[in-house]
Amino acid sequence: MVESEKATMSRKRFHAINPKERARILDEFWTMIALLETKEEVKNFFKDLLSASESVMLARRIQIAKLLLAGWGYDRIEKKLGTGPTTVASVHKWLQGGFGGYTQALPRLKREIERRERLVELREEASVPMSSAWMRKRYPLHYLLSNIVREDVSLIPPKKLQR
């Protein structure tokens, strides 16, 4: 979209859109996102769709949800992230009575972060000369059975994150 088109695009109030039309365009929107297959496709789509500040604001809501679920209080979250109390309260409201999106996605995010941290640990371990991990990497055929048995399925990224 060209900058001049963006400037002329009019805003329409949510309730002013015909309910059938609203349902149709939202269904297309959700379907479009669901059809994206890789992290790179999702990233490029949202870069085209959102401004940099809008992306950061959405990402901060996720951080707020993570901290709320970790038991942090509003004041502490506001200080750490520099957000206002209304933003924290709205995220908390959606955590408590929303559609389950946060509570469904956040455990998946946590597992992915843990998987990445474990990979970093394994890479560091394999870089220490003469360590067992280094030996298995350096001489894979000698440790073929051991490597097959030790292969950790939890280290395989979800399909959408695979390239």
Q: Is the pLDDT of residue 1 over 70?
A: no
More confident residue, 162 or 97: 97
- Indicate whether 13 pLDDT > 70: yes
Provide the residue count of the chain.
Answer: 163
Domain ranges of the chain: 12-49, 52-98, 102-163
pLDDT at 155 over 70: no
- Report how far residue 3's alpha carbon sits from residue 18's, in angstroms, rounded to the nearest whole number: 28
Distance CA 154, CA 152 (A): 5
Token look-up 């559609």 returns: 99
With pLDDT > 90 as the criterion, what percentage of the chain qualifies?
51
* pLDDT tens digits along 62-90: 999 999 999 999 999 999 999 999 999 99
Average pLDDT over residues 11-39: 88
The predicted-structure confidence for 87-132, as pLDDT tens digits, reads as follows 999 999 999 988 888 889 999 999 999 989 988 988 888 888 988 8
Q: CA of 70: how far to CAs of 36, 58, 59, 63, 99, in Å?
A: 30, 19, 17, 11, 20
pLDDT tens digits, residue range 49-63? 999 999 999 999 999
